[in-house]
Structure 1
């Protein structure tokens, strides 16, 4: 992987986002790419509030945000189960780490499922998660070495280097089981024929029970949720183009009927698919 992905999966109304803020993705240092999908940087200078909506990936994010000249805040954000909405005002900066689905597990001292649907500040994670301890110690001026660089300050290169340094200090040893889970999620993500957990488990020589246990521990959600979320990302992407035949699309994505797709689409995107399509015409 030499370039970060360039799709808009999960971002609702991406053209509107890019009209209001500077959004870009960068790859981490090579040694971190088995765990981290990309860094995402956002900067804004707004005359009026702007609300952005995101349908989360099955991935953990570590997010640093600075509003104006205020202090940088940091948090670990587990897999989001519902539509995420953020309202930006004034001037600000965000530097985020999107881990590969399953990629955060080696950095975390327990099951990733305990983070699902939660956003925990570094202060809450003090004395439990080493990167949070390092960042907080640096901001307090403690320790013998120089304080870590602020991921929200500097050029894109400097901000990415600060994120590299934070994660490199905590980089865990290789874990074959975790690599297996990351590969399984990638298979679901890119193979659009994956529609059912039992079929997927059989294809990969797994029991459904083991697959569920691995996904909850390493990803934070079950395989059925991952399959459905990636298929919904595809539906949202399709809705932003020429209006699809929703009954055909529902069948292609493994839904029993169009009504079930419309229900799930509305639940994750906040609006029915026809309304979302009209907003792009």
Structure 2
């Protein structure tokens, strides 16, 4: 699976400080899982690295020593401190796909964590051990797949519909308002709001704004020379100051500082 580091702050750290891999799911899991991701690192004694990841409108199941859990959509950035050596395996569910596992609106677990045992009919400690003690990457993915198959629900036709809507947001950078999304998809604003509450876990407005900020972070991380005032306008902001405030809150640095730091670390 082709690598993409969109959403990883200062992506130049990938391959230098830690290894990031992505793996496609088996065919029976493909209707529900977008991909498995693995982060592994081995740092010298006394060296630490704080990695920030930007939020996405997806549910993740993360196998991490002592911290294994299902994470609902997190509306804020996530920071993880790497030290010594370790590895973490995550499962990124397709947008909308976790509704069938949860059995209730996905918005009910936004900014929340759930134990594996509450959803996958397993022992939390044993499930974590089976994945993290696997001998290699493939073994970790296989062990995680076994856990998920214990509660595999029937496919939901709405998953494809949600996926199409999300692709529309991602692929159309000019969509900055919910009404624009409604016009393109032919689905009313009210219906979009209901679908997102039930299947996504975040509002259409939040999803659109996050995608546009991710677009901006990706452009700046790759060193694209873009006028920040023009970029703010293209993202649907009334002025550059509001864009700068939102960007800094999400990424941790103002846009100009982030672009400069990415160039320095490249």
Quick check: TM above 0.5? yes
**Distance in 2, Cα, partners of 1:184 & 1:223:** 10
SS at match of 1:76: strand
Does structure 1 retain, via aligned residues, the 8 Å contact 2:71–2:112?
Answer: yes
**Distance in 1, Cα, partners of 2:30 & 2:238:** 37
Match of 2:16 among 4, 14, 19: 19
Deviation at 1:223, TM superposition (A): 0.6
**Distance in 2, Cα, partners of 1:37 & 1:205:** 25
Q: Deviations over 1:122-171 (max 9, x none)?
A: 3xxx4x41x1x3243x82xxxxxxx8971222211111111222222322
Q: How many residue pairs get matched? A: 259
SS at match of 1:92: strand
Alignment of 1:85 with 2:85, yes or no, is: no
Does structure 2 retain, via aligned residues, the 8 Å contact 1:65–1:93?
Answer: yes
Alignment of 1:95 with 2:83, yes or no, is: no
User: Structure 1's 33 and 191: CA in aligned 2 closer, same or farther, altered over 3 A?
Assistant: farther
Deviation at 1:118, TM superposition (A): 1.9
Q: Which residue of 2 aligns with 1:60?
A: 59
The aligned runs of 1:192-271 (5 Å cut-off) are: 192-240=173-221, 241-271=223-253
Deviation at 1:192, TM superposition (A): 1.7
Deviation at 1:27, TM superposition (A): 0.7
Match of 2:26 among 5, 13, 29: 29
**Distance in 2, Cα, partners of 1:270 & 1:99:** 26
Match of 1:151 among 100, 124, 131: 131
Q: Which residue of 1 aligns with 2:122?
A: 134
Deviation at 1:7, TM superposition (A): 1.8
**Distance in 2, Cα, partners of 1:105 & 1:80:** 16
Does structure 2 retain, via aligned residues, the 8 Å contact 1:43–1:94?
Answer: yes
Deviating 4+ runs (over 4 angstroms): none
**Distance in 2, Cα, partners of 1:135 & 1:187:** 39
Deviation at 1:92, TM superposition (A): 1.4
Deviation at 1:265, TM superposition (A): 0.6
Does structure 2 retain, via aligned residues, the 8 Å contact 1:17–1:52?
Answer: no
**Distance in 2, Cα, partners of 1:224 & 1:10:** 18
**Distance in 1, Cα, partners of 2:98 & 2:86:** 26
Deviation at 1:243, TM superposition (A): 3.3
SS at match of 2:224: coil
Q: Deviations over 1:231-267 (max 9, x none)?
A: 1001001111133101111222222222221111111
Give 5+ residue unaligned stretches, structure 2.
Answer: none
SS at match of 1:19: coil
TM-score of the pair, normalised by structure 2: 0.90
Q: Which residue of 2 aligns with 1:69?
A: none
Deviation at 1:82, TM superposition (A): 1.0
User: Structure 1's 87 and 149: CA in aligned 2 closer, same or farther, altered over 3 A?
Assistant: closer
User: Structure 1's 20 and 151: CA in aligned 2 closer, same or farther, altered over 3 A?
Assistant: same
Give 5+ residue unaligned stretches, structure 1.
Answer: 67-71, 140-146
Q: Which residue of 1 aligns with 2:103?
A: 109
Q: Which residue of 1 aligns with 2:37?
A: 40
SS at match of 1:151: helix
Does structure 2 retain, via aligned residues, the 8 Å contact 1:148–1:162?
Answer: no
